[in-house]
Structure 1
Amino acid sequence: MLPSEKLNFQGPYLRQNWSLPDSFIYNLAIKPSNANGFAKLVKSCKYFYSKNPVSLSPIFPKLYKTDFEKLDLSIQTISYNDFLFISSNVENIELIRVVIKNEEVPYTIVPLEKLVKALPKIKNISLCENQNHMSSIFTRNTVKELLIIPHFSKISKITLHNIPETFDIETFFAFIKKNKITKFRLYFHHSFSAAYKNCLEAIIDEILQTENHDYKVPCICFYGLEEKKWKKLQSLYDKN
């Protein structure tokens, strides 16, 4: 049983029957005349934001400095330099389908370990990346690089979605058992090999068969995990 992925728009909806031609409405969404007018359109109907999600990039040059302690971004593409500018003081961060790119062309996605290293005050991280990107925020070196970041082991809570099998879960689980501070929620991508699935199963079985945990039990979920095991693991996680 897998938990539902967070959605941007939830609840019932009805297809709009515009009094104006669809082409006119589309152009209105893509090329709004001004920011105030577009804000009113977004409040009136989900359609306008879905066709033209607000982009943060034009805002950055107008900012003098930022002191954000909490940062939630969704469906954005920003540069690494802009990320550094807005996140230097961030303690809580949530990134939903956000692409943070290096400046070089063609651009590459900044890996998770580089983002964490740039967040010295971070306490809580929640990350869900877009499954359709050609490259991933997770690399083969992600676990290795994360574990040498001094403040990584002091983070209170880390939630990661769509983790690929390049993620070295065995090394990471060994770290989890030594860490006494961080609560982990790890949701794995639906596509992985049988060998990787067996590895995840073995880790979960070890957790469930251990009577007394001297570490914070992680919540680990993947497609194909038995519901009984999932519920028991969730219960142990909640008791942390």
Structure 2
Amino acid sequence: MHYIAKNPKNSEVYEKMVKKCKYFFIKNSILVIDKLYYNHNGWKTLIKDDMKSVDINKLLCKLWITDELHVYPEILSKNSIVSSIIPKIYQCDAKHLSLHDQNISLNEFMFLCSSVKNLRLNEVTIKNEDGTEVSFDKLIKQLPQIKEIF
């Protein structure tokens, strides 16, 4: 039971387990969300066709993003906002990823892009662990599942 609670196969299985038995949420607290957005008003998510604010700093559980992640800070001093949320993410299965005006490490980028099909980057700098910038062709080689890049 403990292994199943700590290693859910996918978000659908996890949600079914939590609905049947709260033990799974207590052992591995994950909030499954389809879409997560960031702009000058902060973090928001879409719940039943209504945008709701999310205070990431007050969340006691991890996030499992299943469809979209969009970061549009509109303030240049917030160029590491996506890096600051990564410790709060259990898994990112987003199919659509949009990053604007961000500085991010290659490891963080690859963590976010594990399932991405549609990638949109604008003024994004991705760096290796040694601080050098990652070339665009190196990124593309590591993302064979990508269908569209803007």
If the length of structure 2 is used for normalisation, what is the TM-score?
0.49
Give the structure with the larger helix fraction.
Answer: 1
Give the structure with the larger strand fraction.
Answer: 2
If the length of structure 1 is used for normalisation, what is the TM-score?
0.31
Q: Larger relative CO (CA 8 A, sep 6+): 1 or 2?
A: 2
Q: Larger Cα Rg: Structure 1 or Structure 2?
A: 1
